[in-house]
Structures are given as structure tokens and as C-alpha cells.
Amino acid sequence: MLILSLFVCCHLATANTWHVGKGKGLRSVNAAILAAANGDTILVYAGTYYEKNIIVNKKLLLKGIGHPVLDGEKKYEVISVKANGSVIDGFTIVHSGVSSMEDMGGIKIYDSRDVVIQNNILEDTFFGIYVQYGKNCTVQNNQLVSYNPEEQQSGNGIHCWKSDSLRIIGNKITGHRDGIYFEFVTNSIIWLNTSFKNIRYGLHFMFSHNDAYIANHFRDNGAGVAVMFSHGVKMYSNVFEENWGDAAYGLLLKEISDSYIDGNTFIKNTSGIYMEGASRIHMQKNLFKNNGWGMKIQASCMDIEVTLNNFIGNTFDVSTNGSLVLNSFNRNYWDKYDGYDLNKDKIGDVPYRPVSMYSMIVEKNPPAMLLFRSFITSLLDKTEKVIPSLTPEALKDNSPLMKRLF
Amino acid sequence: MKKIIKYVMTDILRNRIVMIYTIFLLVTSFSVFSLEDNDSKGLLSLLNIILLIVPLVSIVFSTIYVYNSAEFIELLVSQPLKRKSIWLSLFAGLAGSLSIAFFVGVGIPILLYQANAIGGMMIGVGVLLSIIFVAIAMLAAVLTRDKAKGIGVAILLWLYFSILFDGLVLFLLFQFADYPLEKAMIGITAFNPIDLSRIMILLHMDVSAMMGYTGAIFKEFFGTAIGMVISFGVLLFWVLLPVWVATRKFNSKDL
């Protein structure tokens, strides 16, 4: 035991640096890993390496100099990290294997903690960066591009499963199935990422509690962003843009509770937010601009508090599918509000009903969209405003703001 | 023929009603753009003007004008002129002057405030609607001898195209809600130039909502280059058909 600990100590004290590259002594990364001990550094110089599967089973700092290319030849998982505290920095990883039996990643973390994956470029990988049973890991400043047009043939960009305390920061993801995918991941943060033109969702949450995603940009994804079956999710200052299609939502919330949606921007989506079975959600200071539907709140939602938001230039501000309303709207700015403010307190004196009758009609009978903005439909809308019959009586903003908030 | 067109146009453009119409359009357009805080709301108000006021004024004014120039037409017919060219010149004069009135009244403010695809579409569609309703008015005028009856028919036609037709379509939509009507609806819009114009503008104005399930079908048709050509073709057809029928009627009409 003593000898062993001495052995380890010696090695820690004299962490070696191994050089891999043409004319650098070692020619392959695998050989360097074999030779290295815990705590060593392996520097890989520019070039293309066909290493099959690289298994990092020691605590190593793997650093690419001048973005060396690791090629998986469309057969292998490129890097498998199985040691705590490893760092993978500055590689270009291309052509990982595609398999329907196992989830091959460009870089995959197995059951490890404190791993850092940073500054890598991943191209044409099945799954990009895959974290499985990871803890306190960091994935930052990576660029992930995939070209597979088929949803079944394509994996997720950053896929995290049964992990805790992850930091996903400043990555750029495009062309994957889901940009970022979280399942059973808790206490994690997703910050400053850009996820665009992915086949399905830009960000996909399942059973992931107490996570935060902040200041990310989601644009033009097949179906927008989906947050499902989770509680305690914080969504701050994100931008959801140009998610077009009948089943595409800026943000889809399904079975979400005790969450916060603050300061986000929803622009030019077919539906800005779609909520189903959501409860106890605070929505504040969001901007809904030029969407087809600003918000679709199904009757299965309750205790949603919508306050101090801007609704500007949406075709329909809010729509719903029933008459039951257990949510509250207060002090929002609606550009379609045509009430007055006699006592000049900047709050309109008559309530605003954000659900227009025509949005109810379109909900039931979609082809009726064809008659939108015709004289007869505006007539129906005006009549409905005076005597509400189809639209839910309780869905109204009792104190609509006269001026835009921000 | 050129001389007649020139005479008709100067006669109409000097007409007080057309002057008032132009000024009305100009004032509303400018006020709509300068009063509303965002331009898209301004466009929305203009849309209603284009879809309601422009057809109404075009159809009523043209019908009355044709009846009032009965003596002038008789005079021309007694000259060595083809009836066809007299009638077509009358049409060209009316259509030209009302288009100019529309362009000055609505087109210029749009070009000043909203010189983009929506604005361009609105101007194009507005001019076409003016011409279409002149054509329909001339058909109504040539079919009925009595002036009061003719004006009544014109107003009824306007009412039908701008309100009743949509009501009918809405009714059909609900009656046949269980059937896939999306494609059929595209066909149905061809029967009403106002609806067709509205959808063409809508596709630019509410593009996000139009990308929804049903909207996507419309977008797929109207949004493509071929769809655009077809829709403009249908609108042109709405000019040519009434003019052709009216000219034939006028050729054999006992004045």
C-alpha cells in the first residue's frame, strides 16, 4: 500500500507532457494514452488521425494544437471518456459511426465527473457530445455540425442523460436531430448557446428538474423548443425565432410546473408559446412580436401568471381550446387594445380580451383561416367583443397597459 | 379610339366626385400611417379601405357614369366608329382614371411609408380591383336599361363580393367541417376577386400564422411563383370576362 501511494505521489509530482504528431516522437493518440499516467498532458499536433476508438481511461489533459482531425471513419465512436477530471480541448472530430443499436457519439462521457469538453469542432457525427451519468461536467465553446437529413439517422447535438450539475456554455449546434437534449438531468445550466436549423427541436427537455437556460438563441428549428415533464425550470432572456409550421412552437411546454419564463423574446413563430398541462408558471417581461399566435394556452393549464409582457404585431395574441380559465393576465401591453385611460394612470380602464372570436373559430376549423381579415370576420369579432359568447369570459387582462413596456 | 379615351379620362379626372375620392383616399392613407404607432396596423386599416371602399366607389361611379354618358355614346355611335372601340375606350378611360385616382390616393402614401413587398402587393392588388369593378359595373350597366335598376344591381354585386360571398363560404366551411376542404378552398377563392386579393396580401402580412397547417397549404400554392402567376391570371380573367361579355352585349344593343 505504501509503495503504491508513493508511486502515485511521484507521478503526480512529475506530471509528464506527451507530444503526438509527425516527427514528435509518438505517432498515435492511443499510444500516448497507453504510455501516460494520471494527471499527464497529451499534446496532439495538427494532422489527421485514424485511431478507431480512443478511450480516455486516465485523468488526462488532451489538447489539440492547430485543431488536429480525429476521424471515426463512419464506424467508431471517436473519443470515449471514462476517467474523472479529464479535459478534451481543441480537436476536430469528424465522421463518427452511425448505429441504431448503440448511441455513438463524437465524444461520449461515461459515468464520470468533472470532465471538461471545450473548443472542439464536431462535423458529421451521429451524436455530437454525449454525457451519460456525468456529474459537474462542462461542455463549452464547441461547434457541432451534422448533415444527416433523416430524423432516424441523426443523433442529438449535445445529449445529456441521467446527469447532474452540468454546464453547457457557448456552443453552436446545427443540423442534428435535437440541438441540445436533456433527459433526467438536474441542477444544470445551459447558457449562451446557439441552436439553429436542427431537424426536430433546438432544445429538448424531458424529466429534467431545476435546470436553467439563459441567453440562448434558438432559430429555425424543425419544431422549436420543447420542455416537457419537468419542474423548477428557469428560462431567462432566450430568443426563440422563426419556428414555422403547424407543429412548430417557439416554446412548447407540456406538463411543466413551478417554472419561470422571464425576459425572453419570441419573434416570427407560428406559435410563440404553446402550453399544455402546465401549472404554476410565472411569465414576466417577455416580448411576443410578429407571431401567428402569441400564446396558445390549453384549458388544461392552471395558475399561469402572465404579467408585464409586450404583445406586438401578432396575428392572434392568445388562443385557447375551452372555456375554463384558471390563469391570470395582468398589466401586459397589447398593441390591439383600443380602450381608453381617463384617469391617466397608464392603465386602460376597460379590460382587454386577448382571445379573439376568430381564433376560436380557426382552432375548431383550420381552413377558416382563409377568411381571416375579411369584412364579415371583423364584423363577427366586433360583435363578440361587445357580447362575448364563444370566447372564454374569464380570459382577460383587467389592467392592460397603455404604453409599451420596453 | 385614343381621342375617345383621352376625352373620357379628362372628363372623369375633372369630375368632382373623383377628385373627392382621391383626396379622401390620400387623407385617410396619410392619417392612418401617421396616427398609428406601428406601420403594420396602418397597413391593416388600409387593407380594409382597399377591400371595401375601392370596389364600392369603382362599381357605383362607373355604373352612373355609363348611364350619364348615354347621350354621348349615342352621339359617338352615329359617327363612323366601331361600337367595339367606343365601348372599349369608355372602359379604358374609366379604368385608367380610377386607377390613377387609387394610385395617387393610396399608392403614394404606401410608397412613402411602406415601400416593401406588402406595400407593393397592396398597390398592385388595389389597381387590379379598381379595374375589375369598372369591368363588372359596365357589364351591369349594359345588361339593364333602367338607371335605378342598374345602380341597384351594381350595389348588390358589390355587397355579394365583399360580404355575402364570405358569409356563404363560412357557412360551407362549417357544414363540411369533416371533409378536407383546404384544396377546394383555394379553388373557391377564384370565384371572388376580393377574396383572392385579400389572401394575396394576407400571405405577406400574416406570414407566421399562415405557416400553420392550413395556411401552409395556401402558402404552398399562393406563395410560389406559379401560384402568384395563376392568382394574377385569375384577377386578369376577372377583368377580361366581364369586358368581353359587355362588349358583345353592347355590339347588339338597341340604344
- In chain B, domain spans: 2-251
Euclidean distance between CA atoms A226 and A209, whole angstroms:
14
Q: Retrieve residue A263's grid coordinates.
A: 425576459
Q: Which residues of B touch A367 (CB under 8 A)?
A: 173, 181-182, 185, 214
> What pLDDT score does A10 carry?
47
> What pLDDT score does B214 carry?
65
User: Chain centroid to CA A384: how far?
Assistant: 39
Q: Give the CA-trace dihedral at A300, A303, A307, A309, to 10 degrees.
A: -30
> What pLDDT score does B181 carry?
80
Answer whether A295's CB lies under 8 Å from A320's CB: no
Euclidean distance between CA atoms A226 and A206, whole angstroms:
9
User: Chain centroid to CA B138: how far?
Assistant: 13
Q: Residue ranges of the alpha helices (H) in chain B?
A: 2-14, 16-35, 39-48, 54-68, 70-78, 83-102, 108-113, 117-143, 147-159, 165-175, 182-189, 193-205, 207-210, 213-222, 225-251
Q: pLDDT digits over A286-295, tens only?
A: 999 999 899 9
Euclidean distance between CA atoms A265 and B234, whole angstroms:
40
Measured between CB atoms, which of B169, B210, B211 is closest to A371?
B169
Mean pLDDT of the B219-228 span: 80
Nearest CA in chain B to A361: B174
Q: Which residue has the higher pLDDT, B35 or A279?
A: A279
Euclidean distance between CA atoms A46 and A42, whole angstroms:
13
Q: Retrieve residue A376's grid coordinates.
A: 364579415
Q: Which residues of B touch A290 (CB under 8 A)?
A: 208
Q: pLDDT digits over B145-204, tens only?
A: 899 999 999 999 999 999 999 999 989 888 988 888 878 888 888 899 999 999 888 888
In 3D, which of A311, A312, A309, A304 has the Cα closest to residue A395? A304
Q: Which residues of A touch B47 (CB under 8 A)?
A: 373
| Per-residue pLDDT band at B213 (split at 50, 70, 90) | low
Measured between CB atoms, which of B38, B163, B212 is closest to A270?
B212
> What pLDDT score does A1 carry?
47
Are A292 and B212 an interchain contact pair (Cβ–Cβ within 8 Å)?
yes
Phi and psi for A205 in degrees, rounded to 5? -110, 130
Measured CA to CA in angstroms, residue B136 lies from B21, B58, B84, B130 at distances of 19, 9, 17, 10
Q: pLDDT digits over A314-338, tens only?
A: 989 999 988 888 999 999 999 888 8
Count CB atoms within 10 A of the CB of residue B116. 12
Domains of chain A, earliest start first: 10-222 (2.160.20.10)
| Per-residue pLDDT band at A186 (split at 50, 70, 90) | very high
Mean pLDDT of the A129-135 span: 95
Q: Residues of A numbered 165-194 whose beta carbons fall under 8 angstroms of chain B's beta carbons: which are they?
A: none
Answer whether B62's CB lies under 8 Å from B134's CB: yes
The distance of B22 to chain A (nearest Cα, Å) reads 23
Residue A335, chain B, CB below 8 Å: the answer is yes
Q: Which residues of A touch B208 (CB under 8 A)?
A: 244, 268-270, 290-292, 315
Angle at A192 between CA A301 and CA A404, to 5 degrees: 55
Residue A64 scores a pLDDT above 60: yes
Answer whether A115's CB lies under 8 Å from A109's CB: yes
Count CB atoms within 10 A of the CB of residue B233. 11
Nearest CA in chain B to A376: B163
User: Chain centroid to CA B182: how far?
Assistant: 25
Q: Residues of A numbered 311-330 whose beta carbons fall under 8 angstroms of chain B's beta carbons: which are they?
A: 312-313, 315-316
> What pLDDT score does A373 carry?
84
Euclidean distance between CA atoms A300 and A302, whole angstroms:
7
Euclidean distance between CA atoms A89 and A318, whole angstroms:
46
Q: pLDDT digits over A259-277, tens only?
A: 999 999 999 999 999 999 9
Nearest CA in chain B to A380: B167
3-state secondary structure chain A: CHHHHHHHHHHHHCCCEEEECCCCCECCHHHHHHHCCCCCEEEEECCEECCCCEEECCCCEEEEECCCEEECCCCCCCEEECCCCCEEECCEEECCCCCCCCCCEEEEEECCECCEEECCEEECCCEEEEEECCECCEEECCEEECCCCCCCCCCCCEEEEEEECCEEECCEEECCCCCEEEEEEECCEEECCEEECCCCCCEEEECCCCCEEECCEEECCCCEEEEEEEECCEEECCEEECCCCCCCEEEEEEEEEEEEEECCEEECCCEEEEEECCEEEEEECCEEECCCEEEEECCCCEEEEEECCEEECCCEEEECCCCCCEEEEECCEECCCCCCCCCCCCECCCCECCCCHHHHHHHHCHHHHHHCCCHHHHHHHHHHHHCCCCCCCCCCECCCECCCCC
The distance of B199 to chain A (nearest Cα, Å) reads 7
Q: pLDDT digits over B45-83, tens only?
A: 888 888 999 999 999 999 999 999 999 999 989 988 899
Residue A4 scores a pLDDT above 60: no
- The whole-chain average pLDDT of chain A stands at 90
Mutation pick from A274, A318, A365, A370 vs chain B, by most beta carbons of B within 10 Å, is: A370
Measured between CB atoms, which of B38, B202, B210 is closest to A313?
B38
Residue B15 corresponds to which amino acid?
N
Residue A3 scores a pLDDT above 80: no
| Per-residue pLDDT band at B113 (split at 50, 70, 90) | confident
| Per-residue pLDDT band at B37 (split at 50, 70, 90) | low
> What pLDDT score does A45 carry?
93
Residue A373, chain B, CB below 8 Å: the answer is yes
Residue A383, chain B, CB below 8 Å: the answer is no
> What pLDDT score does B125 carry?
93
Mutation pick from B51, B173, B208, B213 vs chain A, by most beta carbons of A within 10 Å, is: B208
Answer whether A167's CB lies under 8 Å from A138's CB: yes
Answer whether A113's CB lies under 8 Å from A136's CB: yes
Q: Which residues of B touch A310 (CB under 8 A)?
A: none
Q: Which residue has the higher pLDDT, A245 or A70?
A: A70
Identify the burial level of A250 via C-beta atoms within 10 angstroms of its C-beta, where 0-12 means exposed, 13-18 middle and 19 or more buried: buried
Q: Give the CA-trace dihedral at B56, B57, B63, B67, to 10 degrees.
A: 150
Measured between CB atoms, which of A292, A367, A370 is closest to B211?
A292
> What pLDDT score does A378 carry?
83
Nearest CA in chain B to A289: B208
Answer whether B213's CB lies under 8 Å from A297's CB: no
Mean pLDDT of the A245-253 span: 88
Nearest CA in chain A to B167: A376
| Per-residue pLDDT band at A130 (split at 50, 70, 90) | very high
Residue A376 scores a pLDDT above 70: yes
In chain A, the percentage of residues whose pLDDT exceeds 70 is: 97
Q: Which residues of B touch A244 (CB under 8 A)?
A: 208, 211
> What pLDDT score does A327 carry?
93
> What pLDDT score does B206 carry?
76
Half-sphere exposure of B178 (CA within 13 A, CB side): 1
Measured between CB atoms, which of A313, A366, A371 is closest to B166?
A371
Count CB atoms within 10 A of the CB of residue A60. 24
Mean pLDDT of the B13-29 span: 90
Residue A372 scores a pLDDT above 90: no
| Per-residue pLDDT band at A367 (split at 50, 70, 90) | confident
Answer whether A127's CB lies under 8 Å from A159's CB: yes
Answer whether A347's CB lies under 8 Å from A331's CB: yes
Measured between CB atoms, which of B163, B209, B212 is closest to A375?
B163
Nearest CA in chain A to B162: A375
Mean pLDDT of the A55-59 span: 94
Helix axes B165-175, B193-205, angle to 10 degrees: 70
Q: Retrieve residue B145's grid coordinates.
A: 336599361
Q: Which residues of A touch B199 (CB under 8 A)?
A: 370
Are A376 and B38 an interchain contact pair (Cβ–Cβ within 8 Å)?
no
| Per-residue pLDDT band at A347 (split at 50, 70, 90) | very high
Measured CA to CA in angstroms, residue A394 lies from A62, A86, A269, A360 at distances of 60, 56, 26, 15
Are B169 and A291 an interchain contact pair (Cβ–Cβ within 8 Å)?
no
